[in-house]
Structure 1
Amino acid sequence: MVPLFIEKLSKRLDECLPGRAAQEIMMIRPKRFKSKVDQKKVPAAVLILLYPFDNEWYFFLTKRTKTVEHHKGQISFPGGMVEKSESYKNAALRETFEEIGVSMKEINIIGALTPLYVPVSKFEIFPFIGWTAKKPETVMHDIEVDRIFSPSIKNLMLEETKKERRDILSDSSIAVPYFDLDGEVVWGATSIILSEFKAILEEAL
C-alpha cells in the first residue's frame, strides 16, 4: 500500500514544477556566473531518497570526502555522473547503491525535479525522487562519502532551517543562502534542489 504522503507527493510531481523561481531562492547573490550554459555540460543524476521512520519521513544526504574530484567536503545527495548508454534515472539508482548501499530493488521512483546546471563544475544535474517502504540499511562508500545522515522532512520545512551567511569571493561580498540540517551547512546545488523540493512539498501537503 502506498502511503498517503507519497500519493500526494507523486500527484504534485505530475503537475507543472516550480522550476527556476524556486531554485533561485537558494542561489548565491549576486550571481557569480553567466547564465549561458556551457555546451560541454556533463550529465549527472542524484536521488532524493525518502523513507518512513517513527511516523515521520526522512531523506538521505552525504558529506563528501576531501579526496573526491568535485565538491570536496560538501553536502550532496547520493548521485554522480551518467555513464554512456545509461538513463538518468538508472544513473541515480546506481550511484545511490554505490555511495550508500541501498539497492535499487528497494527503491520506488515517483518523479523528477527540474534539471540544474552548475557552471563551476559544468555538471547538469537531473534530480529524481524515490522512496522505500521502511528505513533501509546503508553501507558507506568511504572513498567518496565521509558521512551519511538523514534530515527529516519536518525539519526541512521549518522556516528557521533556512539561513544566510556572508562570504568574500574575488574581493566581493556575497550572500550565501543555506539550509542548516543536522548541524551541516547545506548550500550550493544541493540547497537549490532542496529549495524546489520544499516548494513542491508546501503545495502537496
Structure 2
Amino acid sequence: MNYGLTQRHARFGATRRWFGVEAKERFLKNLAAVPRSKHPRLISDDDSTSGMSVLIPLVTVDQKPSVLLTKRSIHLRSHRGEVCFPGGRKEPGESTTETALRETFEEIGLTAEDVDIWGSMKSIIRRQADFHVTPIVGHVKDERVLETLKVSDDEVQSVFTIPIEELCKTAGLTKFKSKNISYTLPLYDCTDFKVHHNAPKEYLHSTQRIWGLSALMLHQALTHLQPDGYNHDLVIKFF
C-alpha cells in the first residue's frame, strides 16, 4: 500500500468535506440569512467605510477542521501578546479583502494564491469607537503551506491553529459595562492547538485565550460554519 498516497487522499477528503464547495455555499447561505444586528459592537453589512480588515483563515490540519490565529509580539506598543487574526489598516484604494490578504502576506507570508476567499462578515466597531474592522473569511487550500510560512517576528510572535471542535467546546462569556452601555461578548480558552511558528526564545503559554474583537469575529464565523454544532448561549442575543 502506498501509505503516503493514502494520507494525501485522506487529507483531501477531509478538506473537501469540511471546507469544500458545499461548506462554502452553506456558509454563504447562513451569512445571507442573518438579520441586521442589534448588538452595540456590530454595524451593517456595508464595509465601504471600514478602516481595517482581517483574514479568518480556515484550514484542515491533521485532518481536523481548524482556524488559524496569530499572537502579536510582546514588543509591540499596542495589544502586545494578544491572540488575533492577521490584518491591519486599509491603504488608499484598497478593498477590505485586498487589505486582509496584503496584511496576511506581510505578517506571516501566506499569499493570496493560497487562500480561497469565501466572503466578508459584519464589521465590528472597536472598543474605542474610532473605526471598525471587517472580518474576511477564507480557506487555506493546502495545509502544507503552513510549513513554509515567512513570519515577521517584529509583529507576530506565534502562528497556530485551533480545531473548530476545541473552539466550540471552550466557548464562554464575558460581560462589559460602562455608564452608557452594557453588552456580552464571547470568550475562548483553548489548550488544544498546533504551533506552526514561534519566535525564538519567546514563551508561549499552554492556554490561548481569544477575547475582545477577535472573539467577536470568531463567534460570527463559527455561527455561520457550525450552526448545529456551535450551541453557544450568545448566538440568539448576538444577532
TM exceeding 0.5: yes
**Greater RCO (CA < 8 Å, at least 6 residues apart):** 1
Q: Which TM-score applies when normalising by structure 2?
A: 0.67
Structure-to-structure mapping, 1:5-20, within 5 angstroms: 5-6=18-19, 7-15=21-29, 16=32, 18=34
**CA distance, structure 2, for counterparts of residue 11 and residue 105 of structure 1:** 20
- Shift in CA distance, 175/47, structure 1 to aligned 2, threshold 3 Å: closer
Are the aligned partners of 2:52 and 2:96 in contact in 1 as well (CA < 8 Å)? yes
1:197 aligns to 2:238 (yes or no): no
Give 1:14 shift. Answer: 2.6
Give 1:201 shift. Answer: 1.8
**CA distance, structure 2, for counterparts of residue 154 and residue 96 of structure 1:** 24
Aligned twin of 2:168: 157
Q: Which runs of 5+ in 2 are unaligned?
A: 1-11, 44-48, 192-206, 230-239
Aligned partner of 1:162: which letter?
A
Aligned twin of 1:4: 17
Aligned sequence identity (%): 26
Aligned twin of 2:235: none
Give 1:113 shift. Answer: 1.2
Aligned partner of 1:85: which letter?
G
Are the aligned partners of 2:186 and 2:219 in contact in 1 as well (CA < 8 Å)? no
Give 1:175 shift. Answer: 7.3
Aligned partner of 1:163: which letter?
G
**CA distance, structure 2, for counterparts of residue 146 and residue 164 of structure 1:** 26
**CA distance, structure 2, for counterparts of residue 80 and residue 141 of structure 1:** 14
Are the aligned partners of 1:18 and 1:200 in contact in 2 as well (CA < 8 Å)? no
Aligned partner of 1:188: which letter?
G
Tell me the number of residue pairs that the alignment of Structure 1 and Structure 2 aligns: 187
**CA distance, structure 1, for counterparts of residue 26 and residue 98 of structure 2:** 22
**CA distance, structure 2, for counterparts of residue 167 and residue 65 of structure 1:** 26
- Shift in CA distance, 116/166, structure 1 to aligned 2, threshold 3 Å: closer
- Shift in CA distance, 58/93, structure 1 to aligned 2, threshold 3 Å: same
CA RMSD of aligned residues (A): 3.1
Structure-to-structure mapping, 1:132-147, within 5 angstroms: 132-135=140-143, 136-137=145-146, 138-147=149-158
Q: Which runs of 5+ in 1 are unaligned?
A: 25-30, 36-40
Are the aligned partners of 1:42 and 1:122 in contact in 2 as well (CA < 8 Å)? no
Give 1:166 shift. Answer: 7.8
